[in-house]
Amino acid sequence: MSMRFGVFVPQGWRMDLNEIADPVEQYEAMTAVGKLADAGPWDSIWVYDHFHTVPEPTINTTFECWTVTSTLARDTSRVNIGQMVGCNGYRQPSLYAKIASTVDVASHGRLYAGLGAGWYENEWKAYGYEWADVPERMAAFREAVEIVKKMWTEEQPVFTGKHYRIDKPINEPKGVRRPHPSFWLGGGGEKVTLKLVAKYADACNVGGGDPEVVRHKLAVLKEHCEKQERDYDDIVKSTSYYLDRPDVPTAEIVEKVEQLAEAGADYVIFYVPRVAYDHEPMQRIAEEVIPRFS
């Protein structure tokens, strides 16, 4: 199976810029990783949509998702740029669609627009967003996905729901990529998220790098596709692979990617620890892992 690969840039959310004191130097360290990926053979670079660090909120840098996406779009020329994933609660879906359309143009059609229901309660409350339980957030997410797709494909979209409404908003330009910006939905919820993937999305992200979870979630997705009469093979099936240390042997990485491919994934997004300070692990993956799966 041919696979494609992405890599997260160091954005601060995982406290991966803390050894750099100057915020300008932090930003440039993040950009340097994006430019390295742009040189190939990576297909994409990725950012998170969070405001506070993990595993707990600390007074440290976390660069904002869409600002980062737009600047990386202009600092690179080849690689795709995505969010894993945008938090629906932080922007009206109509505004999200407008932002994404603009960035797709700025990147010359290289945007992977990610969207999810959101989960980090601390930052929701800290930033003044109303926190809701899972069923309410998922209901809002369901409406948001439909609105975004309408904003990208209809001239005068109309939608009235419990959580959101739009009344013929003008969204021009709608983007560069056709038929619309590449739409990635994150999360493995079997009753809502994967059903939305089958109906609306170009790609999903499931399993967190666990082959058995990936296998199960993709089986559920395939069932939803059959019910929606959607071609399962048209959907990019991604998973994230978080290296637990920079010096993971190449052979171990290759074996893990093979397991993920066997489970049905066709796209792997790496998180490489300490990549802000040392590019060697990322370069090693590019030279010794990616070519084996192309």
Q: What is the pLDDT of residues 103-136, one digit of tens each?
A: 999 999 999 999 999 999 999 999 999 999 999 9
Contacts of 185 (CB under 8 A, 6+ apart): 85, 114, 115, 116, 145, 193, 196, 197, 200, 201, 203, 204, 205
Residue ranges per domain, the chain?
A: 4-293
Output the pLDDT for position 294: 85
Beta partners for residue 45, in sequence order = 7, 81
Helix or strand (DSSP H, E) at 140:
helix 134-153
User: What average pLDDT does this structure show over 85-107?
Assistant: 97
CATH 3.30.200.20 fits 4-293, yes or no: no
Which among 152, 226, 213 is positioned nearest to 182, based on CA atoms? 152
pLDDT tens digits for 37-67?
999 999 999 999 999 999 999 999 999 999 9
